[in-house]
Amino acid sequence: MLQGAQAIQRPSLHEELVERLRNLVIEDELKPGEKIPEKELCAAFSVSRTPLREALKVLASEGLIVLQANRGARVSEVTMEELAQTFPVIATLEQLAGELACKKMTDADLASIEQRHNDMIDSYAAKDRQSYFKANQDIHNAIIKAARNDVLESHHRLLASRVRRARFMANISEERWAQAIAEHEDMLKHLKARDAQALGQLMRNHLMNKFSAHMRSAETGAS
């Protein structure tokens, strides 16, 4: 067998659909309370109703949409009260993840996180919010994985989907965006120093700063 003739790895249709639908919700193209336009999405993605509905089930399990019997699906409406209760829990999980990652991460883990950090900086310089957000989330997820704690990772994954849209919308202002970049620079510095306490506290503050930014933007939009 030819050594170079290996299977081509590509996302499955299901995974691709889930990712695209998730991004439509997170990036506010499908707004809270809005009915999912299944027919329109099937045409846009060139898929039938069956794979689309299977993908919607995944988003429902993540809390991003609500499936309604005989009435299709709607984008979930996450209240400020729910966000106020959820963000401190996620912040605490990320604090613990940062502390554990400093103790358990490998050199390869650190190199991967640093590469994602550099990608994020490039996206910030280009003012590309979509690629910035992806790199940003990749960093947080990589730190979670580097903590080597399956229970922490599963609980974080469950809650993170509920606040992902808020995290995306939180960097609207240039001031907050610059602050987030500065926080990430310090996060990388503490990771390299394997300073568990400093990184853990910073990651907690970073998440709570995101929540505060989201609250300010919501209040401004309502005024």
Residue 111 has pLDDT above 50, yes or no: yes
The kind and range of the H/E element at 84 are helix 80-104
The count of C-alpha atoms lying within 13 angstroms of the C-alpha of 130, restricted to the half-sphere facing its C-beta, is 8
**DSSP symbol at 32:** T
The kind and range of the H/E element at 38 are helix 38-45
Angstrom distance (rounded) from CA 57 to CA 93? 26
The per-residue pLDDT for 171 is 52
Residue 9 has pLDDT above 70, yes or no: no
Instruction: Give all domains of the chain, ordered by start, each with its CATH number.
Output: 13-75 (1.10.10.10), 80-222 (1.20.120.530)
In this prediction, residues 128-135 reach a mean pLDDT of: 88
Angstrom distance (rounded) from CA 55 to CA 170? 26
Residue 142 has pLDDT above 70, yes or no: yes
**pLDDT > 90: percent of the chain:** 57
Q: Higher model confidence: residue 28 or residue 222? A: 28
Average confidence score pLDDT of the chain: 87
- The pairs formed by 75-78 with CB atoms below 8 angstroms and a separation of 24 or more are 75/25, 75/30, 75/31, 75/32, 75/33, 75/34, 75/36, 76/32, 77/32, 77/33, 78/32, 78/162, 78/163, 78/165, 78/166
Residue 108 has pLDDT above 70, yes or no: yes
Q: pLDDT tens across 24-38, in order?
A: 888 778 988 999 999
Distances in Å between the Cα of 32 and the Cα atoms of 66, 74, 117, 210 are 10, 8, 31, 19
Angstrom distance (rounded) from CA 196 to CA 41? 45
- Rounded to two decimals, the pTM is 0.76
Tell the residue number behind the tokens 């903590």, with chain if given: 147
In this prediction, residues 84-107 reach a mean pLDDT of: 96
The per-residue pLDDT for 197 is 98
| Total count of residues recorded for the chain | 223
Residue 136 has pLDDT above 90, yes or no: yes
Q: Higher model confidence: residue 164 or residue 204? A: 204
Would you place residue 69 in the very low, low, confident or very high pLDDT band (cuts 50, 70, 90)? confident
The per-residue pLDDT for 4 is 39
Q: pLDDT tens across 166-205, in order?
A: 777 665 678 889 999 999 999 999 999 999 999 999 999 9
Angstrom distance (rounded) from CA 71 to CA 98? 43
Q: Is-contact 181 124, C-beta < 8 A?
A: yes
Q: Higher model confidence: residue 6 or residue 75? A: 75
